[in-house]
Amino acid sequence: MKGMDDELEKLLRGDLSRINSHLPRARKTLRELLGERDPHVVLLNGSRHYFRRDELERLASIIPEEEWDRIRLPIIIEVSSGLDKGPVGIIRDPVAARYLSRITGAEYSEGKPLLLYAPQLSHLRSIFETVTEYAFTYVP
Amino acid sequence: MSSKRLRISRPTKYELLRLKRRLSTYRRMHRILRDRLFILSQEFFRLLIQAKSLRENVNRLLSDAYSEYVACRASHPYPAFYLDVISEPRVLVKERSIAGVRGILVEYVEEEEARGTGCIAKVSESMRRALREVSKLAEVEETLLMLGEEIRRARRRVNALEYILIPRIESTIRVLESRFEEKEREEKVRLKKVKTMLEARRGTSIEGHG
């Protein structure tokens, strides 16, 4: 029984160490991605994540051109169930938070991260599927 | 729910402390994996609704395209007619990530020039519309399969923590704590008896000397 528990724990620790390996090694700005023929980023696990061109163009239409060098993609949505009963998504990027709050209808205060609840997250993901990505964190 | 306990080689207070730390780690793991499972499930249902709508759309477009094809074919009864209508479709398949699950992006590569005139042009356009939707549907359905697999795997992990590892550790901690409490109580009782005995002896020896 002890052996099986150790194996299970090893498996779970392995899972946990890989849980955020889908995040990009380096993010690119909106302007850089719009200029690429096949816009993509390389992930920590070595694979690639391609963006849909129409999503990039849609994002470019809601963000003013002077901010295109400030917003880095993919937009990371941190997921944590620390605060409320269910998981919440947190967008810390100030430019992304400002403009995405208008799409999701979430409350936004300048300088503070944007908090998204499950229905708002789902709505955002249905519009920006490749432009956003989840990161899993723990808030005690 | 499992009620078995972990086997402890040395039931010491240090071991109890180690177990409590391990329990805290397991609870943290459980929260993170449960959040991930929630997100994966949410993505799955969102794509499921999309797939249903796309499937209905594809069925309708294909039905219309084939009806128009058959009608047009009747007025162009030569074997290679279909080549005039549409060339071999080209799609680009790229990879993407959805919360750590490897999904695909399918892009239908549009032909540059419109084909033919009259009914041929109409059929060609219908076929292209249908193929565009088919490629979107392929992307969504394939991603659903991958997500489904990952959800099954994630659920097993979460259940293993919730129903096996965490209850076992909690049970072992409870047993160890109750053992230590009992030992402490026994120790107190023993000390009290010893104290009483010593006091009794001291009392007897004073009387003897007096």
* 3-class secondary structure per residue, chain B: CCCCCCCCCCCCHHHHHHHHHHHHHHHHHHHHHHHHHHHHHHHHHHHHHHHHHHHHHHHHHHHHHHHHHHHHHHCCCCCCHHHHHCCCCEEEEEEEEECCEEEEEEEEECCCCCCCCHHHHHHHHHHHHHHHHHHHHHHHHHHHHHHHHHHHHHHHHHHHHHHHHHHHHHHHHHHHHHHHHHHHHHHHHHHHHHHHHHHHHHHHHHHHHC
| A55 shares contact with chain B (CB less than 8 Å) | no
- From the centroid of its chain, how far is CA A140? 21
Q: What pLDDT score was predicted for residue A85?
A: 60
| A126 shares contact with chain B (CB less than 8 Å) | yes
Q: What is the pLDDT tens value at each position of chain A, 140 positions in all?
A: 456 777 777 878 888 888 899 999 999 999 999 999 999 999 999 999 999 999 999 999 999 999 999 999 999 999 987 655 666 899 999 999 999 998 888 888 888 899 998 899 999 999 999 999 999 988 77
**Tokens standing for residue A48:** 């690639």
Task: Count the alpha carbons within 13 Å of B125 in the hemisphere toward its beta carbon.
Answer: 8
Q: What is the pTM of this model?
A: 0.85
Question: For residue B153, what pLDDT band results from cuts at 50, 70 and 90?
Answer: very high
Chain A residues in contact with B31 by the CB 8 A cut-off are: 81, 138
Cβ-Cβ contacts under 8 Å between A and B: the total is: 90
Say whether B200 sits in a helix, a strand or coil.
helix
Q: What is the pLDDT of residues B179-205, one digit of tens each?
A: 999 999 999 999 999 999 999 988 877
Provide the β-strand partners of residue A43. Answer: A24
Chain-wide mean pLDDT for chain B?
A: 87
Beta carbons of B165 and A8 less than 8 Å apart: yes
Say whether pLDDT at B106 is over 90: yes
Beta carbons of B7 and A118 less than 8 Å apart: no
CA–CA dist A49, A23 (Å, integer):
9
Query: Rounded to 5 degrees, what are φ and ψ at B24?
Result: -65, -40
Q: What is the pLDDT of residues B26-57, one digit of tens each?
A: 999 899 999 999 999 999 999 999 999 999 99
Nearest CA to CA, how far is B71 from chain A (Å)?
35
Say whether pLDDT at B84 is over 80: no
Q: What pLDDT score was predicted for residue B1?
A: 46
Q: What pLDDT score was predicted for residue B145?
A: 96
Parallel/antiparallel/unpaired status of strands A75-80 and A28-29? unpaired
Beta carbons of A49 and B99 less than 8 Å apart: no
ipTM comes to: 0.89
| A105 shares contact with chain B (CB less than 8 Å) | no
| B168 shares contact with chain A (CB less than 8 Å) | yes
Chain A residues in contact with B102 by the CB 8 A cut-off are: 47
**Tokens standing for residue A2:** 């002890």
Beta carbons of B94 and A38 less than 8 Å apart: yes
Beta carbons of A1 and B95 less than 8 Å apart: no
Q: What pLDDT score was predicted for residue B79?
A: 64
Which amino acid appears at position B185 of this protein?
A: R
The beta-carbon neighbor of B46 closest among A11, A16, A125 is A125
- Minimal Cα distance from A126: which residue of B? B46
Q: Residue B66: CB partners within 8 Å, gap ≥ 6? A: none
Q: E strand or H helix at B102, and its extent?
A: strand B101-109
CA–CA dist B25, B84 (Å, integer):
65
Shortest CA distance to A86 belongs to which of A125, A116, A128? A116
Contact by Cβ (8 Å): B108, B89: yes
Residue A84 or residue B147, greater confidence: B147
Nearest CA to CA, how far is B14 from chain A (Å)?
19
Contact by Cβ (8 Å): B15, B176: yes
Chain B residues in contact with A2 by the CB 8 A cut-off are: 6-7
Average pLDDT (B121-134) is 88
Nearest CA to CA, how far is B70 from chain A (Å)?
34
Say whether pLDDT at B77 is over 80: no
**Tokens standing for residue A126:** 């249905």
**Tokens standing for residue B58:** 């594809």
Q: What pLDDT score was predicted for residue B193?
A: 93
**Tokens standing for residue A86:** 């269910």
The beta-carbon neighbor of B46 closest among A1, A18, A126 is A126
Q: At what angle do helices A2-18 and B13-74 cross, to 10 degrees?
A: 60
Question: For residue B70, what pLDDT band results from cuts at 50, 70 and 90?
Answer: confident
Q: Residue B102: CB partners within 8 Å, gap ≥ 6? A: A47, B95, B96, B146
Nearest CA to CA, how far is B92 from chain A (Å)?
11
| A54 shares contact with chain B (CB less than 8 Å) | no
